Structure 1
Amino acid sequence: MPTRPHGTGALAALFAGAMMLAAIPAAAADCPNRGDLDDIFCDSDGDLVADTPTDPGQLRDPSTIVFAYTPVEDPAVYANIFSPFLDYLRECTGRNVVYFNVQSNAAQIEAMRSGRLHVGGFSTGPTGFAVNLAGAVPFAVKGDAEDWQGYNLIMIVRADSAFETLPDLKGARVAHVSPSSNSGNLAPRALFPDEGLTPDVDYEPLFSGKHDQSIMGVNSGDYDAAAVASDVFERMARRGQIDADDFRVIYRSERFPTSSFAYDSRLKPELRDTILACFMDYRYTEDMQREFDGADRFYPVTYQEHWEVVRRVADASGTPFNRTTWERQ
């Protein structure tokens, strides 16, 4: 039977230690509003994300821009997918740009907080922690000229299983992804009880670590069911990693935003504005469009508006995006 991996908790503990060592700027004491942001950040305008520092000594102006994409699946796949975009970003910004392979959400968030990551794509759930703990400012999701791209929480079972509804899974082996995952943990905790299935009461969640590992675990019979993101499931089917006909979807939620693209709030404003303009002017390659369900561009969003449903799910599940929740993981 699958067991819960210890890597996420260990990384969270290391991250918590790094936060304890971080010096709190003198200006933090004068912050008129912080909300859920960590102590080294301020939100004086109330838009729920960290302000750009007013002290020039706190601004970051790196000669090499570091970019990372969420480690939802094989990081090497995304390094190749984003390669043409990074070439474009080098030309557009006039600076060197490198791809940073991150192995976990915790490592990605810690990298931005420490200043080693300047812009990147964060998974839906971890975006909230990146905002509050690392000073990330989400500005885009994948989309097209008409709309932003979303996904659903789905509960999958094998096609040959006897499970037909969520309540049928009481006592079953159900995979969640990781504590910070929206579709893989937070949304199930908030949404499933109204459907007659309560995590930690009707079943003990088994953390797989990644969406693809949950899906493959159902396919192999290690899990009876798994709560995963619909876009990951659909990408794996398109790639031929799974046969969608081997599964059944017994639950589908409302739409959530896909992974956010966010910059470090401490970037020098001139560099930040250049990066934002470069992102918004770019059009995806054919490979990127195939990989990202037909999306062809970065669609502008705000954390305050587009992540409202995600924050609502996190609060309803008792896991708001703050340091206390992070350190419990």
Structure 2
Amino acid sequence: MKLTTPLLAGLLGAAFALPATADFQLSDRYADQDGDLVADVPTDASEWLDPNTLIFSYTPVEDPAVYADVWSEFLDHMAEETGKKVQFFPVQSNAAQIEAMRAGRLHVAGFNTGSNPLAVACAGFRPFAMMAADDGSFGYEMEIITYPGSGIESVEDLEGKELAFTSETSNSGYKAPSAILKSDFDMEAGTDFEPVFSGAHDTSILGVANHDYPAAAIANSVLTRMIDRDVIDEDQVESIYQSQTFPTTGYGTVYNLKPELQEKIRQAFFDFDWSGTGLEAEFANSGESQFIEINFKDDWDVIRKIDQANGVSYSCN
């Protein structure tokens, strides 16, 4: 589904008076001559990377070994398409993933919704694909969850209690709920509730299910997959808030891979057959069954607006 912004505009009000791109700027090490907000491929062939082994990483999760298996058939397919060895690289944080690409150690990746703009700005990430359903629809919602008997039945009941976020680069795990709580409920972290950080959506969900956190802001696509894998039971958590739909993890390459290699990687995403694979087993129950083409400038417009409302800086250290 294509995202619409009227709800978000009402949600965050005057914070959206400026265009979404007002504060978005690529690092000085990248060029954007065509104005699509992503780094151009270098015109000088001496700057191209053509590694013997392509390094791929998926957005941080609590148990990366599970996702190494989930992605194994796809990575074999990418190896066939490109003629390269392909290695899965587990990452423990969004910051580590961005730094690995910025340093040239990561070539292909899936960056989560909230860290995607920072990866584009600071690491030369060129996103081109997203998971979607058979009909081309895509997206997930941010939910605030609690456990039965916590005494929290509404957002207002969070006052004076802990709320678990994932990391400050996460859209649904931090940026969207922070903006929503401030605008819709006049609640701010550190004043009206105590923020804690778990590091990952699955960690937050497990924390609520096991009563380690009274509540957490999470991506409901992760929750759906964890229930499907019997990691938690559905009746261990309750939702007290659900947002509008956001885009999911964006997949792409680092900007300076050899152009022919970038094209082969793109093709690997779009002609991969999910049938009977780990990707199908893991993601089908949250609605995904294929990769579709995306446009960072358009599809991440709503996310950059949330960043703007939160005062997020894209400056790169």
Q: TM-score range by the shorter chain?
A: 0.7 to 0.9
Where do 4+ consecutive residues of structure 1 move more than 3 Å? none
In structure 2, how many angstroms separate the alpha carbons of the residues matched to 1:255 and 1:243?
24
In structure 1, how many angstroms separate the alpha carbons of the residues matched to 2:213 and 2:107?
37
2:171 matches 1:182: yes
In structure 2, how many angstroms separate the alpha carbons of the residues matched to 1:117 and 1:187?
27
TM-score calculated relative to the size of structure 1: 0.85
Per the alignment, residue 198 of structure 1 pairs with 188
Relative contact order higher in (CA < 8 Å, ≥ 6 apart): 2
In structure 2, how many angstroms separate the alpha carbons of the residues matched to 1:35 and 1:290?
37
Q: How does 1:43-192 map to 2 (within 5 A)?
A: 43-192=32-181
Corresponding letter in the other structure for 2:280: Q
> 1:258 deviation in Å?
1.1
Per the alignment, residue 319 of structure 1 pairs with 312
Per the alignment, residue 258 of structure 2 pairs with 268
**Given that residues 55 and 89 in structure 2 are in contact (C-alpha distance below 8 angstroms), is that contact kept between their aligned partners in structure 1?**
yes
Query: What is the CA deviation profile of residues 142-190 of structure 1, one whole-angstrom value per residue up to 9, with x for unaligned ones?
Result: 1134224211110001122221211111111111111111111101111
> 1:309 deviation in Å?
1.0
> 1:51 deviation in Å?
0.6
2:228 matches 1:238: yes
> 1:245 deviation in Å?
1.1
Query: What is the CA deviation profile of residues 69-117 of structure 1, one whole-angstrom value per residue up to 9, with x for unaligned ones?
Result: 1112311111001111111111111121111122221121111111111
Question: What's the secondary structure of 2:235's corresponding residue?
Answer: helix
CA RMSD of aligned residues (A): 1.6
**Given that residues 148 and 299 in structure 1 are in contact (C-alpha distance below 8 angstroms), is that contact kept between their aligned partners in structure 2?**
no
**Given that residues 141 and 246 in structure 2 are in contact (C-alpha distance below 8 angstroms), is that contact kept between their aligned partners in structure 1?**
yes
In structure 2, how many angstroms separate the alpha carbons of the residues matched to 1:162 and 1:195?
21
2:241 matches 1:251: yes
Question: What's the secondary structure of 2:238's corresponding residue?
Answer: strand
**Contiguous gaps of at least 5 residues in structure 2:** 1-22
Q: How does 1:30-49 map to 2 (within 5 A)?
A: 36-49=25-38
**Given that residues 280 and 289 in structure 2 are in contact (C-alpha distance below 8 angstroms), is that contact kept between their aligned partners in structure 1?**
yes
2:297 aligns with one of 298, 304, 308: 304
Per the alignment, residue 282 of structure 2 pairs with 291
**Given that residues 144 and 295 in structure 1 are in contact (C-alpha distance below 8 angstroms), is that contact kept between their aligned partners in structure 2?**
yes
Q: How many residues align?
A: 291
Question: What's the secondary structure of 2:115's corresponding residue?
Answer: helix
> 1:62 deviation in Å?
1.4
> 1:252 deviation in Å?
0.3
In structure 2, how many angstroms separate the alpha carbons of the residues matched to 1:321 and 1:39?
12
In structure 1, how many angstroms separate the alpha carbons of the residues matched to 2:274 and 2:172?
26
Question: What's the secondary structure of 1:206's corresponding residue?
Answer: strand
> 1:211 deviation in Å?
1.2
**Given that residues 38 and 125 in structure 2 are in contact (C-alpha distance below 8 angstroms), is that contact kept between their aligned partners in structure 1?**
yes
Per the alignment, residue 16 of structure 2 pairs with none
In structure 2, how many angstroms separate the alpha carbons of the residues matched to 1:306 and 1:230?
19
Corresponding letter in the other structure for 1:40: R
> 1:219 deviation in Å?
2.0
In structure 2, how many angstroms separate the alpha carbons of the residues matched to 1:84 and 1:253?
33
In structure 1, how many angstroms separate the alpha carbons of the residues matched to 2:192 and 2:137?
35
In structure 2, how many angstroms separate the alpha carbons of the residues matched to 1:258 and 1:157?
23
Corresponding letter in the other structure for 1:150: G
Per the alignment, residue 227 of structure 1 pairs with 217
Q: How does 1:209-224 map to 2 (within 5 A)?
A: 209-224=199-214
Change in 2 beyond 3 A, CA 1:147/1:322: farther
Identity %: 45
**Given that residues 175 and 226 in structure 1 are in contact (C-alpha distance below 8 angstroms), is that contact kept between their aligned partners in structure 2?**
yes
More helix by share: 1
In structure 2, how many angstroms separate the alpha carbons of the residues matched to 1:322 and 1:241?
38
**Given that residues 171 and 202 in structure 1 are in contact (C-alpha distance below 8 angstroms), is that contact kept between their aligned partners in structure 2?**
yes
In structure 1, how many angstroms separate the alpha carbons of the residues matched to 2:51 and 2:207?
42
Question: What's the secondary structure of 1:124's corresponding residue?
Answer: coil
> 1:35 deviation in Å?
5.3
**Given that residues 24 and 314 in structure 2 are in contact (C-alpha distance below 8 angstroms), is that contact kept between their aligned partners in structure 1?**
no
Per the alignment, residue 28 of structure 1 pairs with none
**Given that residues 65 and 96 in structure 1 are in contact (C-alpha distance below 8 angstroms), is that contact kept between their aligned partners in structure 2?**
yes
TM-score calculated relative to the size of structure 2: 0.88
In structure 2, how many angstroms separate the alpha carbons of the residues matched to 1:65 and 1:83?
14
In structure 2, how many angstroms separate the alpha carbons of the residues matched to 1:53 and 1:305?
23
